Structure 1
Amino acid sequence: MCGIFGLVTSSRQGLDRAAWDRAIRNLFILSQSRGKEAAGIAIANADEIVVHKDSVSAEAMLKTADYKTAVSRGADGFFAAPGDKSALSVVGHARLVTNGLQGIDANNQPVWRDDIVIVHNGIVTNWAELWAENPDIKPRAEVDTEVIAALMHKYTVEGDTTQKAMSRAFDDIYGETSIAFFQRGTNELMIGTNTGSVHYCISAKGDAFFFASEKWICQKLTSGDKTIPGFAGVPVHQLTAGNGMSIDLSSIEVKTFGFDSALATPQISPMLATQRNIEEKSYRLRHAQATMQRCSKCLLPETMPYIAYDADGVCNYCHTYEPWEKKPESEIEEYLARFRGDGKSPDCVVAFSGGRDSSYGLHLLKEKFGMQPITFSYDWGMVTDLARRNQARMCGKLGIEHIWISANIKEKRANIRANVLAWLKKPDLGIIPLFMAGDKQFFWYANELIKQTGIPLMVFCTNRLEKTDFKLGFLDMPPQVDGFNQPSTFGMGRKAQMLMQYGKRYLSNPRYINRSIPDTAWAFLSYYGINQDHLYLFDYVDWDEDVIDDVLINGYDWELADDTECTWRIGDGTAAFYNYIYTTVAGFSEHDTFRSNQIREGQLTRDRAMELVERDNQPRWKSIREYTQLINIDFDEAIRVIDRIPKLYGA
């Protein structure tokens, strides 16, 4: 199982910073024998609790700049001005993954939930039942440890002391559990175990304390070259099963107690004059994202490429935006009438991704305009199973033939894998669209299908709110301001500039010179070189998100994703991954640009758009995991690399 440990030192002990650093390092190195998949630390001083964790071994984490920054923040003040002050306290964790993927920071430890920062060794086997039995508390991560903190916080809110709350939580949980935690408003370290996997030492002068998961670890730190000053030769005690312990961080007084939810005379927890702040990297990043400057009219943030704000805070994208001028619906009626057949034979081909726009467009063509479509889908290996099920729903209910053209899926995914691995070696936001190059032959096959079927009308159901200038912006290309243009209409100069920018990145990272190059070249030709002069349905028809969702969900039992409430991009297996990258590094994604366009069109208020962006930019972990599995890359390593990319916002 995992290794947990802690060290409490008072100014009376006189431990200097170098000795303290060595003690923490030795506790980590010795404890990682119990788990090397992730590590973390929480440092409590008089003013705050600094939390840092990483999805690497403890030994690797100790070498990182982020770890050193966190330790400096938590400990420097204590050692810079020694005196009679509250203790400096640490709890640490070396993780063996048993519940919740290690690449997701929220699953690693210490876990911060409500007012509690906790480390945990063991497995709570009834964690799912406990969430179900306590519907007033909701999980925020996948790790079982979180339910312990949530229960203890719930019980303290109900009026229990910290000791009684912990005892009640141990009554509730089933499984092997040893914990240590800080509570924001109390001045104590609490420890508990139902197995006895806690061993501890009190310094000879009673001015310091440490604990670890195994007796031999304590023995290493009380004798020999790893001895912590003040602990030489002191006895090692065990906190036996069914017992808890509190360490008063003012007096270093240690008290033990048995778990008894009745607790006739409960201990009163020593309180702090003010609650400590809790500082964690993920919180700091969220705060930095929340405080970015955004356009006062739309939502575009300061990290948007080529953005500028006027004196009123309105961005240049708003100033140059050309409203979507829908063509009269009478024109499409006249246009479709030229192709409409006898109602039995196909009279148009619909490019069908299985997403909401193409699904709704199919509905309109058949039910409103009386056309008899056939649909066409290109499977390049990233069409989700959910999209396929929704395609089946639509075609089955409407009685529409569905033509599939499938690529060599194994080869396509191998190409994606090669490019994603190259990108992970040298991340660059500008080259992310390369991940999706393999789907662009869709346009080539669309033209071929017109020839094969003899049906001259190809209908696309894309909407013009989905313009994403930022993708080319990160490629160091300024936005094209003259409205919405099909890629095939880009001028030769712009195409040449794009090729030059990609070429520079290829030369700077030779790993892009891989098996995918022929496929990528074909994709570029298909997307930027082949005529796309097709019918675009939403140039004539109103696009209303609420109406579309209502028709699809209630009319066709259209299936939603279980990792997001948003209905956009849920049929695209790549979207969750690349939008996670954009959000993590730049603080915004496709959702921000899409909602900004809706604001400009008068479809959403700015406040409502902001609510939707905050909701839709949450990581879709299930979809991201499925993506990494499909292309056979390591999920944890990919998330670790993305997490460490320098951020474009102040963090």
Structure 2
Amino acid sequence: MCGIFGILINPISDFPVKNIEATLRRISQLSESRGKDSSGIAFRNLGSKTIEVIKGDVPIHKLLKSKTFEQKLNKSLESYQNGNGFTAFGHARLVTNGSQLQEVNNQPVIKNGLLLIHNGIIVNVDEIWQQNTDLKREFLIDTEIILSLLRKELIKEDDLVKASSNAFSQLEGTFSVACMFEDLDQFVLATNNGSLYYLTDHTQYIVFASERIFLKKLQEDNSFQIFDKESEIRQLEANEGLIINITTLDLRPFNLLSKDHEILQSKVPTAFQTNKFLIDNLHSKNEVVIDPAYFIIRSKEKHLFGLLENN
């Protein structure tokens, strides 16, 4: 069980930066209840053509207090004020594989020009690596296989829906993901179990999170009132996805099991450069890895296994 969240704002919008910051901080803090072992947030800055990732083996409330986060947030808000829009997404992690002490296992996971956050457990990850000998495994975290499959399919397919569906169809287990690309002006949300919710006015902003209650609480905050008072919280149902054009905020739903509707990749003229900034936990260096298959007695703790496996 992990928490994924994010906010995308259209370049033509004029929301006050203080409200954007408050909204990002609030949805981040709400998501921490789903995982406190590590955390990360990424900002996409159109003006500098950079994606800046802050992550570490700390709970997200500590990451939000770091000087690095403050600096990168302010840089991204300044870019927004210059007419470049605002895009940020993040992760609050409960470790189920891949030590949080190795930064490559913490999320967003970065590989092959993709950045991805993942809630869930892929149970056939070893088999997929064995079946795809052309792919190189570098990390311990199961999420890595999703990025590797996506890039492989994107090379073969111009259609982003088909590439995504081809990649996701190979996964067994549960996943709710958000993916950003260095070379595309698009953002993908997808889930096979329905643990993904969003708020949007369809023109200026979209906010997403792992639980409906997080968005409900966000709507009650005074700082969020400037965005929208009336939008309905929507759920991405099982095997549904959403492709978001970052520049126009055009939202295009798709079905993970169908390849009928085509959405071509929207390439950016110059690929973004991803920069990583690591936050160290100075108080604890104890490895935390929860393996639900071994450490949860299913007969006695079935409800906990359900949280890990199905959310």
Query: What TM-score does the superposition give when structure 1 sets the normalisation length?
Result: 0.42
Q: Tell me which of 208, 212, 219 is aligned to 2:209.
A: 212
Instruction: Tell me the distance in 1 between the aligned counterparts of 2:104 and 2:246.
Output: 27
Q: Which residue of 2 aligns with 1:488?
A: none
1:167 aligns with 2:169: no
Question: Does the 8 Å contact 2:19/2:223 carry over to 1?
Answer: no
Closer/same/farther in 2, CA of residues 132 and 251 from structure 1, 3 Å limit:
same
Distance 1:75 1:114, change over 3 A: farther
Are the structure 2 counterparts of residues 183 and 240 from structure 1 closer, same or farther at C-alpha, using a change threshold of 3 Å? Answer: same
The match for 1:96 among 94, 97, 116 is 94
Is the partner of 2:224 in helix, strand or coil? coil
Cα shift at 1:182: 0.7
Pair 1:108-2:79 in alignment: no
Aligned-residue offset at 1:165: 1.7
Aligned mates of 1:183, 1:162 — CA distance in 2: 12
* Residues 68 and 636 of structure 1, relative CA distance in 2, 3 Å threshold: farther
Mapped pair 1:26 → 2:22: no
Q: Distance in 2 between matches of 1:161 and 1:140?
A: 27
Note if 1:254 corresponds to 2:241.
no
| Residue pair 1:195, 1:240 contacting (<8 A) in 2 also | yes
Correspondence for 1:145 among 137, 143, 146: 143
Q: For residue 151 of structure 2, give the secondary structure of its aligned residue in structure 1.
A: helix
> How many angstroms apart in 2 are the aligned matches of 1:73 and 1:137?
35
Q: 1:68 maps to which residue?
A: 70
Quote the Cα distance in structure 1 between the aligned partners of 2:89 and 2:184.
15
Question: Which of 231, 255, 270 is the equivalent residue of 2:266?
Answer: 270
Shift of 1:162: 2.4
- The C-alpha deviation readout for 1:568-624, integer Å capped at 9, x for no partner, is xxxxxxxxxxxxxxxxxxxxxxxxxxxxxxxxxxxxxxxxxxxxxxxxxxxxxxxxx
Match of 1:281, SS? strand
Extract unaligned runs of 5+ from structure 2. 289-311
**Greater percentage in strand:** 2
Are the counterparts in 2 of residues 220 and 226 from structure 1 also a CA contact under 8 Å?
no
Question: How do 1:615-630 and structure 2 match up within 5 A?
Answer: none
Which residue identity is paired with 2:275?
E
Structure-2 residue corresponding to 1:135:
133
Q: Look up the SS of the partner of 1:260 in the other structure.
A: coil
Q: Distance in 2 between matches of 1:270 and 1:223?
A: 35
Aligned AA (1:130): I
Amino acid at match of 1:252: L
- For the pair 1:243 / 2:240, whether they are aligned, the reply is yes
Between Structure 1 and Structure 2, how many residues are aligned? Answer: 283
Deviation at 1:260, TM superposition (A): 3.2
Give the drift of 1:112: 0.5
Aligned AA for 1:62? L
Distance 1:56 1:634 in 2: 10
Q: Distance in 2 between matches of 1:636 and 1:232?
A: 43
The answer to whether the 8 Å contact 1:196/1:240 transfers is yes
* Secondary structure of 2:24's aligned partner: helix
2-structure distance, mates of 1:63, 1:54: 13
| Alpha-carbon displacement from aligned partner over 1:152-209 (angstroms, at most 9, x marks no partner) | 0011112343222211121100111000011111111110000001111113x72111
C-alpha deviation, 1:42, in angstroms: 1.1
Structure-2 change in CA distance of 1:105 and 1:280 (3 Å): same
Map 1:340-489; keep pairs closer than 5 Å.
Answer: none
Deviation at 1:90, TM superposition (A): 1.1
Give the helix-richer structure, 1 or 2: 1
RMSD: 2.0
2:6 corresponds to 1:6:
yes
The aligned residue for residue 177 of structure 1 is: 175
SS where residue 71 of structure 1 aligns?
helix
Distance of 2:37 and 2:149 partners within structure 1:
27
Per the alignment, in what secondary structure is the counterpart of residue 78 of structure 2? Answer: helix
Give, in whole Å, the separation in 2 of the partners of 1:149 and 1:226.
35
Query: 2 CA distance for matches of 1:108 and 1:169?
Result: 21
Q: How does 1:177-326 map to 2 (within 5 A)?
A: 177-203=175-201, 206-225=203-222, 227=224, 229-260=226-257, 263-281=259-277
The answer (yes or no) to whether the contact 1:223–1:233 under 8 Å persists in 2 is no
After superposing the two structures, state which structure 1 stretch, 173-182 or 272-281, moved more. 272-281
Are positions 1:156 and 2:154 aligned together?
yes
Q: Is the CA contact (8 Å cut-off) linking 1:115 and 1:183 kept in structure 2? A: yes
Which of the two has higher C-alpha Rg?
1
Whole-Å separation in 2 of the counterparts to 1:99 and 1:126: 13
Cα deviation, residue 51, structure 1: 1.1
In 2, distance between residues paired with 1:19 and 1:4? Answer: 20
| Partner-residue secondary structure (3-state), 1:211 | strand
Q: Structure 1 residue 226: deviation in Å?
A: 5.2
Q: Distance in 1 between matches of 2:225 and 2:69?
A: 21
Deviations 1:470-514 (A, max 9, x none): xxxxxxxxxxxxxxxxxxxxxxxxxxxxxxxxxxxxxxxxxxxxx
Contact map agreement 1:43 1:75 (CA 8 A) in 2: no
Which amino acid is 2:250 matched to?
A: E
Task: Pick closer, same or farther for the CA change 1:43–1:130 going to 2, 3 Å.
Answer: same
1:90-114 deviations in Å (ceiling 9; x for gaps): 1110111111111111000000110
The code of the aligned residue for 1:49 comes to I
Letter in 2 for 1:42: A
Query: What's the CA shift for 1:11?
Result: 3.3
Distance 1:25 1:281, change over 3 A: same
1:399 equivalent in structure 2: none
CA distances 1:393-438 after superposition (whole Å, capped 9, x unpaired): xxxxxxxxxxxxxxxxxxxxxxxxxxxxxxx88xxxxxxxxxxxxx
What SS is found at the alignment partner of 1:42? strand
Residues in 2 aligned to 1:636 and 1:218: alpha-carbon distance in whole angstroms: 32
C-alpha displacement of 1:70: 2.8
The match for 2:42 is 42
* CA distance in structure 2 between the aligned counterparts of 1:41 and 1:162, rounded to whole angstroms: 24
Give the conservation status (yes or no) of the 8 Å contact 1:201–1:211.
Answer: yes
Q: State the distance in 1 between where 2:267 and 2:248 align.
A: 13
Contact 1:36 1:95 in 2 (8 A): yes
Q: Specify the SS of the correspondent of 2:244.
A: strand
1:198-221 deviation digits (Å, cap 9, x = unpaired): 111113x72111111111111112
2: CA distance, partners of 1:214 / 1:140: 31
The share of aligned pairs that are identical, in percent, is 30
Give the distance between the partners of 1:265 and 1:9, measured in 2 at CA. 25
DSSP-derived class of the 1:4 partner: strand
Q: CA distance change for structure 1 residues 52 and 228 in 2, over 3 Å: closer, same or farther? A: farther
Give the TM-score, by structure 2 length.
0.85
